[in-house]
Amino acid sequence: MDDNQKQQQPPPPPSPSNKRQEGSGGEPRRDPGNSGDGARARTPDEWKEVLEPDRYEVCINHGTEPPFSGRYNGYSPDGGYMCACCRAELFSSDAKFDSGSGWPSFWRPASEGNIEYVQDTSYGMTRTEVNCGRCGAHLGHVFDDGPAPTNLRYCINSLSLIHESDCRDE
Ligand SMILES: [Zn+2]
């Protein structure tokens, strides 16, 4: 019954061992810092109109949702997690793990090309902020205390994500 709808979904990432931006065989990606793409062209005021206030606070104002408050902490259905703002595929359930932090955690992104990394020196700490590579929405931070094989922990706000099963319900 949902076969026709399913064809509009982007395909899953082809290879679990793919760590590089290039050679994934996926769709062509521009340099994430380059605004060639309509999604990033939205102004904060325009985002305010289309996003719920709590999503706006996290995605556009680079806020952080309270731990254990988000829909996707402790959420385990299979499937992809898209950017809440532009629907770029960011993470997949097969790299999700329970870090105990209170935020959804992943040990790798679905596609490095859809992730933008920025040094964040706020609050007297040096951390690596993780944003959507397509639209620039704030997602969370990445830490180096994750599980093998990457030893990375992408600590992501639920409000920055939409699981594909929730997308279909919209
Ligand atoms: Zn996005």
Ligand 1 midpoint to CA 124 (Å): 27
All residues at 6 or more sequence positions from 104 whose CB lies less than 8 Å from its CB, including other chains: 70, 72, 73, 75, 81, 91, 96, 155, 156, 157, 158, 161
Ligand 1 midpoint to CA 64 (Å): 17
pLDDT at 167: 85
pLDDT < 70 stretches in the chain: 1-40, 169-170
**Every domain of the chain and the residues it spans:** 40-169
Q: For residue 122, give the amino acid letter.
A: S
CATH of domain 40-169: 2.170.150.20
pTM: 0.76
Residue with tokens 């902020």: 129
Ligand 1 midpoint to CA 90 (Å): 8
The pocket of ion ligand 1, defined by CB under 5 A, consists of 83, 85-86, 88, 132, 134-135, 137
Which residues form the catalytic set?
155
Question: How far is residue 156's CA from residue 138's CA, in Å, rounded to a whole number?
Answer: 9
Residue with tokens 């829909």: 71
Question: How far is residue 103's CA from residue 123's CA, in Å, rounded to a whole number?
Answer: 19
Ligand 1 midpoint to CA 135 (Å): 4
Instruction: Please state whether the peptide bond connecting residue 13 to the residue before it is cis, i.e. omega within 30 degrees of 0.
Output: no
CB distance 139 to 157 below 8 Å: yes
Q: Which two tokens stand for residue 95?
A: 């790299």
Ligand 1 midpoint to CA 33 (Å): 13
